[in-house]
Amino acid sequence: MKEFNGKILFLDRSDINTDEIIPAKYLTEATKAALKPYCLEDLILEGFDSKRDLAGKSVIVTRANFGCGSSREHAPWVLECNGFNLVIAENFARIFRQNMYNCGMIAAELPAEKIDEMFRLFAGTDAELVTDLEKKTFTVTGGGKTRTYDFTIGSFDLELVKAGGWVAYADKKY
Amino acid sequence: MGRTVAQKIFDAHEVDRPEPQIRVLSLDRVFCHEITTPIAINDLVVTGRDRVFDASRIKAVIDHVSPAKDSKTAVQGKTLRDWVRRHGIKDFFDIGDNGVCHAIFPEKGFVRPGQTIIMGDSHTCTHGAFGAFAAGVGTTDLEVGILKGVCAFHDPKTIKVEVTGKLPEGVYAKDLILSIIRDLTVNGATGQVIEFAGDAVAALGMDGRMTLSNMAVEAGATCGICYPDATTVEYLWPFIQKEFPSREAALAEYSRFLPDADAQYSKVVRIKAEELVPVATVNYKPDQVKAVSELAGTRVDQVYIGSCTNGRIEDLRVAAQVMKGKHLAEGVRCIVSPATPLIFRMALAEGLMQIFMDAGCCVTNPTCGACLGMSNGVLAPGEVCASTTNRNFNGRMGKGGMVHLMSPATAAATAVAGTIVNSPLFKGGR
């Protein structure tokens, strides 16, 4: 099972699409590892620099409809290559969300007001998040504050995370 | 309780229900192209699972970069080519016979009402035009589809979009779907299915219906479904005439997948076709849509007519009608890419290619190329493209480029004018 803890990268925008996460011109790469330098290269977000802002971060917190657009699984792969196994958002595009769980990664949905609070309290601090998959909580610490957020994960999604993805799960079961 | 189209198709294909909301479906079709399939193939090989569940249900095409533009894309093509040979996958469309996946697979008769279809491509929702449940998936879902013939989906909610009346002259399926996405927003149908209903949808031919279903995903939808009817059966008849004694019998069979009168919808959107006008996108999201008249005067560098959205024969006919006897505006280039070899041949036979070439257009072979900035018409930074494709995302057709999505009629008129403008086919005068 992957790690779901670490420092948070806050992306304060809705509808971040998979072309922004990994532009199509890189889809000709034959390996996942080759994608690494291009993560979030075309993201439109004021003040954001993909060459500078990803370093040392392992969790993304963002707004609504993250991962909309293309079906490219290169989007979760490029996040994984850069150490991100967990994205927290108000909601996700269906294909992106499924791709995350299919890779044994987590796309967790929290209500808009909880996301708002995370941005208000922790964006701009050196915030760190710890996931407890048993209790189903995220604990965020930063700027002298700590908050714990409950999240839900379906039993099927959790099995995919524990199995390390859909191929391993399906190969056993079907 | 009444069932929607997607629920009826799910009921007919369910093989497992690992939790109440998750339904694992058997697949009638797994479509493959050379961009998202090779990594699945390589993984199957490396893990000792290089098998396919049913070679006759797998269809493959090289379309995204065709012909190969460099060594990397050549390897992607070769990986797919070697794999189909190795497994006896007969329906494979290589350079020369190949077209854009969502145009060529329906054209070959592979798509039928009531089917389940996946492909590693988000615009797989196009095939909903035939009353199928067709969904774009990632490479892992594709890999499991290839290996096991199954895919897991959440039990679908459905939004019904009912379009009544008659589209005004010069207003097309593209204007309709862009207007629907504007109303729903890019997150408005996330994880849901859309049923396109109403007499304005029934009046569309299959080409128009595919344009409509193609962009369902731009509102977040898993699939956009049109109801199978006499138009659907007529399109499919050459492929199904041995299966059914008559067209009526085929329609009766396919009608099993029509929604019940008391089907439950999460939302019903009603649109009056008469009120629609030609529209185009602004900025970087497909729900940022304005009337073409509001964008009038916007200068463009390139016009692109093609893609899985609008590269079919009806699209080329309309574009040619607008361009006939005209020439591109100075400083504007226009690329026309028929979506399949058959469409290319029809356009040649009908004299459309002559019209495009006389106007100064570059006519290319069928490929996805420019739509996603991979080849055959990539934009330079700062350039503006009027395009009949489906995505205006930042950098989509080339880093730093701006894409305005529109119908083939508007795109052709824009190519001639050099600035975004309504086509003369639209008499609305706005």
CA atoms within 13 A on the CB side of B185: 8
Say what the ipTM of the complex is: 0.95
Residues 57-86 of A with CB under 8 A from B: 64-65, 68-73, 76
Closest CA to B189 of B163, B165, B225: B225
User: How many whole angstroms separate alpha carbon B263 and alpha carbon B59?
Assistant: 33
| CB nearest to B138's CB, from A20, A32, A98 | A98
Residue of A nearest to B41 (CA): A30
On whether both B293 and B241 belong to a single domain, the answer is: no
Query: For chain A, what is the domain count?
Result: 1
For residue B34, give the amino acid letter. E
Domain residues for the domain of A125 are 6-173
Q: For chain B, how many structural domains are there in total?
A: 2
B193 and B115 fall within a common domain: yes
Closest partner CB to B19 (pick from A44, A65, A155): A155
Crossing angle of the two packed helices B71-87 and B37-46, in degrees rounded to 10: 60
Grade residue A7 by pLDDT with cuts at 50, 70 and 90. very high
**Chain B, nearest residue to A64 by Cα:** B187
- Please report whether residue A79 resides in a domain: yes
**Chain A contacts of B31, Cβ < 8 Å?**
none
The helix, strand and coil proportions of chain A, stated in percent and rounded to the nearest 5, come to 35, 25, 40
C-beta atoms of A24 and B42 within 8 A:
no
Q: Contact B194/B159 with Cβ under 8 angstroms?
A: yes
Contact check, Cβ <8 Å, B137/A27:
no
Of B70, B140, B399, Cβ closest to residue A73: B140
Facing B395 at nearest CB: one of A23, A155, A166: A23
Between A and B, how many residue pairs show a Cβ–Cβ distance under 8 A?
A: 142
Runs of H (alpha helix) within B99-155? 101-107, 139-148
* A1 in any annotated domain: no
Contacts of residue A21, defined as CB under 8 A and 6 or more positions apart, other chains included, come to A39, A40, A43, A67, A75, A78, A79
Contact: B138, A99; criterion CB under 8 Å: yes
Q: Is A32's CB within 8 Å of B147's CB?
A: no
B250 and B290 both lie in a single domain: no
CATH number of the domain that residue A136 is part of: 3.20.19.10
Mark which of B271, B292, B317 sits at the end of a domain.
B271
| Closest approach of A147 to chain B, Cα-based (Å) | 29
Cβ atoms B158, B267 nearer than 8 A: no
Angstrom CA distances, B75 to A83, B68, B295, B338, stand at: 28, 9, 42, 25
Closest chain B C-alpha to A6 CA, distance in angstroms: 26
- pLDDT by residue for chain B (430 residues), tens only, comes to 899 999 999 999 999 999 999 999 999 999 999 999 999 999 999 999 999 999 999 999 999 999 999 999 999 999 999 999 999 999 999 999 999 999 999 999 999 999 999 999 999 999 999 999 999 999 999 999 999 999 999 999 999 999 999 999 999 999 999 999 999 999 999 999 999 999 999 999 999 999 999 999 999 999 999 999 999 999 999 999 999 999 999 999 999 999 999 999 999 999 999 999 999 999 999 999 999 999 999 999 999 999 999 999 999 999 999 999 999 999 999 999 999 999 999 999 999 999 999 999 999 999 999 999 999 999 999 999 999 999 999 999 999 999 999 999 999 999 999 999 999 999 985 4
